[in-house]
Amino acid sequence: MKTSRIVLYALIAIILWSTAGTAFKLALKDLDFTELLFISSNVAWITLALISFIKGKKVSFKTNHILKSALSGFLNPFLYYLILLKAYSLLPAQIAQPLNYTWPIMLIILSAIFLKHKMLWFDVIAIILSFSGVVVISMMGNSSFNFDENHLLGIVLASGSSIIWASYWIINVKDNRNELEKILLNFAFGALFISVWIIFDGGIPKISKGWLPAVYVGITEMAIAFVFWLTAMKWSNNNSRIGNLVFLSPFLALIFIHLILQEDIFISTFIGLILIVTGILFQNVMANNEKKRTHK
């Protein structure tokens, strides 16, 4: 596949992901965060099933595969999006969205704790940089930290969602199945979990204006974007370079948030986001240099 097409696929995924925060907030005007997840996760697995069928991909229903997907689906989309969407219901989109991007740093910490990966000096610097960005963003344009309980809870949840995503990544990387198959079954189980929650919590939400952005989230952010991204990563000769393109997403997201949601972007949000992304990119570059040095 030509490099230009690979980059195009990656950019399509990035643009779709960049619109997610805006779509979340639009849906949450009419839906509860659990209702949003119910609609979007069910739309996502149906979309992924159609894509899998069109591509002629087979799905394995071996017991160990089902158990792995049940665990992964509990983490993502069920638990991850429950926490993230609750955060979006409590915070401005420009605050919730960048706080979620600390997951690569959480991955470093969790890998050191659970996988016994050695934490090097540049990992520590990356963690300090990124978490200083979290602090700056959490100020929400204020010079002090005088938050109400909802804002404080939202900040904790938005940041905490990155721990769930990092945990999901650690489990997922050890699963050698086809990526599309894994994502399909993960979302099918996630949709099952949230469907059970919804049934016992009052039933399926009535059709409203919130359904349209919720369906959009399921089709694009949760399904099509992943397919385009996985295709780009599969055919790329330099996954690291393509992977770094994803950090365009939070900056593009701020543009959509400002233009569509009419949020005035705090300078502290922009500065904090730069600190987070700088910490992550610094760690990526230094880690790649360390690998090259040790393999000489």
Q: Which residues of 233-264 are buried (b: 16+ CB within 10 A; e: fewer)?
A: beebeeeeebbeebbbbbeebbebbeeeeebe
- Domain boundaries along the sequence of the chain: 3-294
What is the rounded distance in angstroms from the CA atom of residue 60 to the CA atom of residue 167? Answer: 23
pLDDT in tens, the chain (296 residues): 677 888 899 999 999 999 999 999 999 999 999 999 999 999 999 999 999 999 998 888 889 999 999 999 999 999 999 999 999 999 999 999 999 888 888 888 888 888 778 888 999 999 999 999 998 998 877 765 666 788 899 999 999 999 999 999 888 877 888 889 999 999 999 999 999 999 998 788 888 999 999 999 999 999 999 999 988 888 877 666 777 788 899 999 999 999 999 999 999 999 999 999 999 999 888 988 887 777 66
Does the pTM surpass 0.75? The reply is: yes
Q: Are 256 and 26 in contact (CB under 8 A)?
A: no
Nearest to 208 by CA among 11, 32, 18: 32
* Per-residue pLDDT, 264: 94
Amino acid letter, residue 154: G
